[in-house]
Amino acid sequence: MPALAGKVALVTGASRGIGKGIALALADEGATVYVTGRTAVAGRSTLPGSLEETAAEVDRRGGKGIAVQVDHGDDDAVAALFARIAGEQQRLDILVNNAFAVPDHLPDLHPYWEQPLSDWRMVDVGVRSSYVAAWHAAKIMVPQGSGLIVAISGYTGVSYTFNVVFGMCKSAVDRMARDMAIELESHNVASLSLWQGFTFTELARAAIEKNAELQQSTVTNPAVGSSPEFPGRVIAALSADPDVMRHSGGTFITAELAQEYGITDIDGSVVPSLREERGAPIWQPVTARGVVQ
Per-residue burial over 135-156, b = 16 or more CB atoms within 10 Å of its CB, e = otherwise: ebbbebbbeeebbbbbbbbbbb
DSSP H helical segments within the chain, as ranges?
Answer: 17-28, 51-60, 75-89, 121-122, 129-144, 164-184, 202-210, 230-240, 254-261, 275-278
At residue 260, the pLDDT reads 97
Is 293 a member of any domain?
no
Q: Would you say residue 244 lies in a domain?
A: yes
- 46 vs 277, residue with greater confidence: 277
The pLDDT of residue 8 is above 60: yes
The pLDDT tens digits of the residues spanning 63-81 come to 999 999 999 999 999 999 9
19-33, 199-213, 279-293: the lowest-pLDDT one: 199-213
pLDDT of the residue at 205: 59
Cβ neighbour number for residue 230 with a 10 Å cutoff:
28
pLDDT score for 162? 83
Task: Measure the CA–CA gap between 153 and 170, rounded to whole angstroms.
Answer: 5
Whether 290 is in a domain gets the answer no
Which residue range forms the structural domain that includes residue 65? 8-278
Q: For 138-158, what is each residue's pLDDT tens digit?
A: 999 999 999 999 999 999 999
Q: Sort 207 into a burial class: Cβ within 10 Å, 0-12 / 13-18 / 19+.
A: middle
C-alpha distance across the termini of the chain, in Å = 39
Angle at 3 between CA 55 and CA 242, to 5 degrees: 125
| 284 lies in some domain | no
Rounded to an integer, the average pLDDT of 272-279 is: 94
For residue 1, being part of any structural domain is answered with no
* 110 within some domain: yes
- Percent of all residues in the chain with a pLDDT value above 70, rounded to a whole number: 89
The tally of domains found in the chain comes to: 1
CATH number at residue 151: 3.40.50.720
In a domain, 283, yes or no: no
Instruction: Indicate whether 16 belongs to any domain.
Output: yes
